[in-house]
Structure 1
Amino acid sequence: MPDRAAYNSRDSRCKSPYGAVPSGTKVQLTLRPLRAEGFSRATMSARFEFRDDATVTLNMPWSGLDGARDLFTCTLDTGDYVGLVWYSFGLERLDGKGRKMFGPYQLTVYDGGEVVPEWFGEGTTYQIFPDRFRRTRVPDPQGMVGGRWVHTAWQEEPEFRPDKNGEIRNRDFFGGDLKGVMEKLDYLQGLGVETLYFCPIFEAAENHRYGTADYRNIDPMLGTEEDFIQLCAMAHQRGMRVMLDGVFNHTGYVSRYFNGDGFYPTPGACQSEDSPYRSWFNFIHWPDQYESWWGIYSLPAVNEHDPSYRNFIFGGQDSVVRRWLRAGADGWRLDVADELPDDFVRGIHEAARAEKPDAVIIGEVWEDGSTKVAYGVRRRHIMGRHCDGLMNYPFRNAVLSYLKGGDAADFVNAMETLRENYPRFAYYSAMNSLGTHDTARILTLLGAEEGCEHQSKEWRSNYRLGPDQRRRAKELLKLGAALMFAFPGSPTVYYGDEAGMEGFEDPFNRRTFPWGREDSELMGWFSRLGHLRKQSPALRQGDIHYRVGKGPVLAFTRTHGEETVLAVFNTGSEEATLRLRENEEAQLLLGSARFHTEPEGPLLTLQPRTGSLLQIVPVPEEEEE
């Protein structure tokens, strides 16, 4: 086991400043071996990965004693470098016979030359799958792209069976529309929502609309451009922002650009080599063999290096990115950001900021975004001037593991690894969620028995939690939601999770919102969390400090200025206790934790499978007479 007391990158005695640093920072590094080990010489070696692995070796002179430990210190100057640095240490004894190595450790050096807007990470985000949220009428699909059909009843089950050709085509629609969202803005405001994140809203053949047919046209089943402008204006009047889904890695086979089925009157890339869109796609053999996303023929991949495509998406004054920001959007979430070249992402970022200085770009990344490698290239997602934040699937994975009986220590370690690796702007602008359109419903995951993934899709379509399963799942969901709302980054609610929706994978996680059949207990809980988040500077911007992370018990504080909020959680099946500091009292904001004053000091009692948020109030010291 490594001697973490000799070097711990999260300890200010060993490394300062903490975590990721802007370029130009001089980082002080200190080794602290036991004096009894007899080390007399220390060196530090730093490899600058984004500078062709150039390596710098520095001597670490002896700098004093700290109790029983020698101190060896050096300063690493990051200069104008932006990227990852991997640094290691070596210790030698005077006789040269003993050597000890530490590392490598990661240092993220980012471009700190711009101010990243803070609005996204501070407030609650609500993710809307447009076809399934709210409809104001049963639409007529005649004349629309894709050969769609519409469910007459809102409560029907989404179609999941293959068609006669064995394909799952996603052409069944329910007719959710933008006017339906407008009707429910007061509802969303009542949840404390500050950002509306829409899955794609542009014209497309499939109900998920991730195979874009026309980037310049709102899907007619959703409404018109005027409807979108009105929705944005109404949202802004309520203090909400609007984020769109940018699907720029691929288009639809059925699209104005590829035009695989000939729906559009002008020739697409697969119809004519003279098409203005021909260079957008990579044909292996024109016109029937081409690169596509994950080999799915209906999603032909675009060539993001093509000048005309780049100009269309972000280069021109009327580019897609700028056009919809002008219409009222406030930011973009980039679908499959790993599959977009870094300079393409940077171009989107520059265009967005040029059009709207406080526009935000969030990337879809499923792993630690600081070390992500895609197609053999280390990505620059959060090195500055690319993505302002990422979808935080590592957070979701860590929360799920904890809720299902995992050790709170694992959650703390996973999140502290991210906090250490991420620039502060990226950590605080993360999109934290318990569920999305790409994952099973959180309530189902928390309540269903093991082995359901081996059942047939027909079985999973009919599955619902039993009363005892649902009760337990709701307890854990309330705990998980409180954890999400108390954590740095934007708490993101997938539509209907607050209403108690269930369902396994797509399309069962994309059922219609159960208007009139919501779970009132969960609705009330999410609403209270949303308003606490909106009102508390500590929850919006505060630093995080862990107090306990062991077994089923997790506790941390968020502090901003004079305000400190304590978040406490117990996933166990038995009552747990947490001792506060002697000069503290706790006022309950949300939950069921009980505060007691005892001779040994203040104590919190945590009920099984609960989470609570409390205001920490310092107790004034008594003046001596």
Structure 2
Amino acid sequence: MTLRIAEPTGVVLAAQPHHDAGPSFLLDPPRALGDAATLRVFQPAAYPVSAIALRAVIDGEISTASLEAVETTATGTWWETRLTAANPVVPYRFCIVGAPDETHDVPSYAWLTAAGLLPWDVSDATDFRLVVHESAPTWVDDAIVYQVFPDRFARSAGAPCDEQGRALPPAGVDLPAWAVPMAWDDEPAVRGDLTGAQFFGGDLDGIAERLDHIASLGADTVYLTPVFPGGSVHRYDASTFECVDALLGGDEALARLSTALHARGMRLVLDLTTNHTGATHEWFVRAQADADSPEAGFYLFREHPHDYVSWLDVPSLPKLDHRSDAVRERLVRGHDSIVARYLAAPIAADGWRIDVANMTGRHADTDLALDVARDIRATMREVEASTGRPAWLVAEHGHDATRDLDGDAWHGTMNYTGFTRPLWAWLAAEDSELNWLGLPMSLPRLPGDAIAQTLRGYNAQMPYSSQLHSMNQLASHDTPRTRTVVGTAARQIVAVGALATLPGVPTVFAGDELGAEGLTGEHARTPMPWDAIEQEDGSRIDLDVLDATRRLLGARREDAALRRGGLRWLHLSPELLVFARTHPQGDTVVCLARDAVSHDDAPSQGGGADGTLELDLACLPGVRAVRERLAIGGVSAQISGTTARIRAQGPGVLLLRAER
């Protein structure tokens, strides 16, 4: 059975009225209560209307207003209205009152929401949102992140090893009891206790020595998984937050790395676990030793000292109790907190990724997750007041994070649900045996028009600013590798195309750009093959994927529409997705092809009998000409005026520039 998703209105996407929260359609976004913004809707000439109305929710009640037609051209009409930010978050949508005639079969009644145009009544969940809460730092709008698992990225020039090349600790540092020394070319374990014990000897100075490679990808921000001492190589079981692990080079090495990054105009994001510590953490040791100690109130003891709540019932990860003001003051609140200390000199980090943010402060009938996030945001503002450097706050969340992203808490999330999983489901290898979400099944392989419903519908449930400031990742230290998921270099390049062009902060897990493989998150923590990179050894690394990553992320770096623009879907079919990133400086049209498009695939959204998709990009307001920006793989376009005839003969990425 082939799943097909029809447009509910029966009108092709390119002919539908459009609004998004990008700078072409939302003018003068509010910064404080009482500010008014101009909202614009573009109505293509192929969709006649008699009226367009605004519906907003203010102080809990519906408020309506009619839009005014302010400019009409041969291709369509601009409509406008003003909306005042009477509340910190104001949901709004538009009622499109259609005027069908003999040549235009359009619905007489439809709602335009962030999820698209729907000819029936809908809930408020996917309304656009006017938000006055302080947004993420402006540098995040342009950021490209490179994620590093420190033990596996690079050994510094002076890092010691034994005769077999197995890692040794730095001079004067004892090898921890958990550590099993490995040679750099050894393969990480797939699962089991060994995954947390394999010590490859990567360090922070090694990262500083390899910044040229990171910068060559277009990345300008390095995100490090935890650097605190712990009971394993992943360090999410911290034994203290007071210092950087000596195995990685200690505080001085982290300060050197930060200085090296900032000297290049790059930034540093660190990783903090606010949900739990390790069982060897100094706080937990004191808590178990003395039931009357302040630290005993930091944890959730059922019966002191050995019966306590832990992360997913893993006893080595005791859960913190954020009802305790004392633990929040030490960890997240104020100038003396751990959060503040590493944002200030000499480390001067530029942000925090919060591990297990979705569970932080949540247990039984207690839910303080957003209170903790607001504490961190307040601390960041305090530090910014003294340093002049705003910081980014990203929440780890593995499923639906939308209810945590509507206010003044997290700036964004790791967008597994709204980016990673739909892309996996579209591009998955046909014979994949990877498990899907812990369910009794392997990865599904879904058509493009199906996964687009997730890309549209899920992300519509958060403010657009939260989507823009969330990490988009194809893989991370917690997942299989992108190449293992998609199976081929060609499909991996399509995945990178999505990473570089969809709204959100592109985040590359170190080694993905080389076509690295890995069956599990642990197995994916592959040491970087520096000799192969330096020798450009195509037998060990995928040079095509590396080149495509540089070209696609480079295109994003040069294009304001890809970094900061709104989003308009233009075509959805099983093998081909086409969308525009809208921006006043000009729109960029993105075509992503999973495979060749047949005549059965294209016609549903305006295609031809030979599988060619014909799009008149005059549907994008003000467009006078179209030119090709970048093409990789099997997708191409013939351009005549504003019309592009798009043909996919295999997996590929095509970028077109719509010029005004």
- TM-score higher than 0.5: yes
Equivalents in 2 of 1:512, 1:360: separation in Å? 28
Q: Does 1:430 find its partner at 2:445?
A: no
Residue 324 of structure 1 aligns to a residue whose secondary structure is helix
Q: Does 1:511 find its partner at 2:526?
A: yes
Q: 1:575-600: CA deviations, max 9, x gaps?
A: 75332427533224241443435699
Equivalents in 2 of 1:57, 1:521: separation in Å? 53
| Further displaced range: 311-320 or 362-371 | 362-371
**Which residue number in structure 2 is paired with residue 439 of structure 1?**
479
Q: Does 1:400 find its partner at 2:424?
A: yes
Q: 1:479-537: CA deviations, max 9, x gaps?
A: 11011101111111111111111111132111222222432221111111222222222
Q: 1:51-91: CA deviations, max 9, x gaps?
A: xxxx7578999x9xxxxxxxxxx999984365889999xxx
Q: Does 1:587 find its partner at 2:628?
A: yes
Asked whether the 8 Å contact 1:245–1:335 carries over to 2, the reply is yes
Q: Does 1:133 find its partner at 2:153?
A: yes
Q: Does 1:331 find its partner at 2:351?
A: yes
**Which residue number in structure 1 is paired with residue 381 of structure 2?**
353
Asked whether the 8 Å contact 2:237–2:317 carries over to 1, the reply is yes
Which structure is larger by alpha-carbon Rg, 1 or 2? 1
Equivalents in 1 of 2:522, 2:409: separation in Å? 32
- Residue type matched to 2:467 in 1? Y
Equivalents in 1 of 2:90, 2:282: separation in Å? 39
Q: CA deviation at 1:152?
A: 3.7
**Which residue number in structure 2 is paired with residue 362 of structure 1?**
394
Equivalents in 1 of 2:510, 2:20: separation in Å? 44
Q: 1:133-165: CA deviations, max 9, x gaps?
A: 111223328865851324241111334565xxx
- Call closer, same or farther: CA 1:411–1:305 in 2, change over 3 Å: same
**Which residue number in structure 1 is paired with residue 202 of structure 2?**
176
Q: 1:378-423: CA deviations, max 9, x gaps?
A: x4x331x211111111211111222245332223332222443222
- Residue type matched to 1:200 in 2? P
Q: Does 1:219 find its partner at 2:245?
A: yes
- Call closer, same or farther: CA 1:144–1:423 in 2, change over 3 Å: farther
% of aligned pairs identical? Answer: 27
Equivalents in 1 of 2:62, 2:645: separation in Å? 50
Q: Does 1:524 find its partner at 2:543?
A: no
Question: TM-score w.r.t. structure 1 length?
Answer: 0.76
| Further displaced range: 600-609 or 214-223 | 600-609
Residue 158 of structure 1 aligns to a residue whose secondary structure is coil
- Call closer, same or farther: CA 1:220–1:532 in 2, change over 3 Å: same
Equivalents in 2 of 1:510, 1:172: separation in Å? 10
Q: CA deviation at 1:194?
A: 1.1
Question: TM-score w.r.t. structure 2 length?
Answer: 0.72
Q: Does 1:204 find its partner at 2:230?
A: yes
Pick from 493, 500, 513: which aligns with 1:498? 513
- Residue type matched to 1:179 in 2? D
Q: Does 1:149 find its partner at 2:164?
A: no
- Call closer, same or farther: CA 1:588–1:388 in 2, change over 3 Å: same
**Which residue number in structure 1 is paired with residue 49 of structure 2?**
none
Q: CA deviation at 1:310?
A: 0.7
Q: 1:234-284: CA deviations, max 9, x gaps?
A: 11121211111110110001121113xxxxxxxx21122244422111111
- Residue type matched to 1:584 in 2? A
**Which residue number in structure 1 is paired with residue 613 of structure 2?**
578
Pick from 573, 579, 583: which aligns with 1:560? 583
- Call closer, same or farther: CA 1:21–1:512 in 2, change over 3 Å: same
Equivalents in 2 of 1:594, 1:322: separation in Å? 50
Question: Gaps spanning 5+ residues in structure 2: where?
Answer: 1-5, 42-54, 69-80, 96-118, 160-166, 361-368, 429-444, 533-539, 599-610, 619-623
- Call closer, same or farther: CA 1:278–1:483 in 2, change over 3 Å: same
- Residue type matched to 1:402 in 2? W
**Which residue number in structure 2 is paired with residue 421 of structure 1?**
461
Equivalents in 2 of 1:226, 1:135: separation in Å? 16
Q: Does 1:301 find its partner at 2:319?
A: yes
Residue 277 of structure 1 aligns to a residue whose secondary structure is helix
- Call closer, same or farther: CA 1:172–1:342 in 2, change over 3 Å: same
**Which residue number in structure 2 is paired with residue 41 of structure 1?**
none
Asked whether the 8 Å contact 2:226–2:236 carries over to 1, the reply is yes
Equivalents in 2 of 1:434, 1:130: separation in Å? 19
